[in-house]
Amino acid sequence: MPELPEVQTVVSDLKSKILQQKIINVQVLFSKIFVLEPAQIINQTIIDVLRRGKYILIKLSNGYLVVHLRMTGRFFVASKKSSKIILTPEQQKHLHVLIELQDYLLLFQDQRKFGRMHFYQNLAWLESKLGPEPLSPDFTISYLSQICKSNRQIKALLLDQSKIAGLGNIYVDEVLWQVGVHPNTPACNIVFTKLKIMHTAIQNILQQAIAMQGTTFLSYAFDGAQKGKFLTYLKVFNRAKLPCFRCGTTIIKIKVVQRGTHLCPACQPLDPLDFRKKISLNTGRAKQVKKN
């Protein structure tokens, strides 16, 4: 968190405000976040703001400022009222990097201090580690079918950024509920008709989330404090102990690839032949038992 829709929302917000702004100065208040020398970006002009996977790419006149928000990173664009920088208490809260532009102040706040900023001359390193964008022409049903020949759990595969860039815990849970597939199912066991539904679900859910400016359920915000509105549209994520919208069965939460995972045990049954271990759902919650 944030995932593709949230990062895209931040990118769109920044793009509407800071293009063609020259970087005048940089103040670093927490050095582990700003992993570069300020001199590398001072006097450069912001040409564009882009997204690749979960990364924000601020294209400069010479190189890129690459930002990963991680858990709680957020940007705040403030107007410069005078040559003297004066911040409100809200702007000062968890402030770790202040980038002074010609007409604005670009503030980076991060409560948990996991966010990172790097400078790169080009993006070859990033392209080598990320798979296709799920909303791009490169993400075809044929491509999804090809990567799903693996026997990896489908949730693990969909979370793998080298296979598909930008998907995260929230939207993978939503997609798998939409398709009716248990997150522990080996990808190679999913029939092609289901994969076609999955391909459509991935794109539709991401597009809907982008339109609603992402999902805020903990700390994600854009433009400093604006929240995403997709939370009320979620069908399964963060709905443990609530009834499934489709069948009324109680939604459960289990661990899959070390991630909290929400699912409907009735709509997303696990084939006991898939694993040496199977999931017992008799008590309304997931419990691993040995196969008979």
pLDDT tens digits for range 11-70: 999 999 999 999 999 999 999 999 999 999 999 999 999 999 999 999 999 999 999 999
Cβ atoms of 155 and 119 closer than 8 Å = no
Tens digit of each residue's pLDDT (9 = 90 or more) over 235-286: 999 999 999 999 999 999 999 999 999 999 999 998 766 544 443 333 344 4
Strand order of the β-sheet with 73-79 is: 23-28, 95-101, 104-110, 73-79
In the chain, what are the domains? 4-127 (3.20.190.10), 141-290 (1.10.8.50)
The strand pairing partners of 78, in sequence order, are 105
Q: Which CA distances in Å does 223 have to 68, 115, 161? A: 16, 16, 26
What residue ranges in 174-292 does DSSP mark as E strands? 252-256, 259-263, 277-280, 287-290
- Residue 6's closest CA among 253, 263, 240, 217? 217
Helix (H, G, I), strand (E, B) or coil at 35: strand
For the chain, the helix, strand and coil percentages under 3-state DSSP, each to the nearest 5: 25, 25, 45
Question: What separation, in Å, do the N-terminal and C-terminal C-alpha atoms of the chain show?
Answer: 38
Helix (H, G, I), strand (E, B) or coil at 21: coil
Active-site residues, by number, are 2-3, 54, 259
Mean pLDDT of the chain: 91
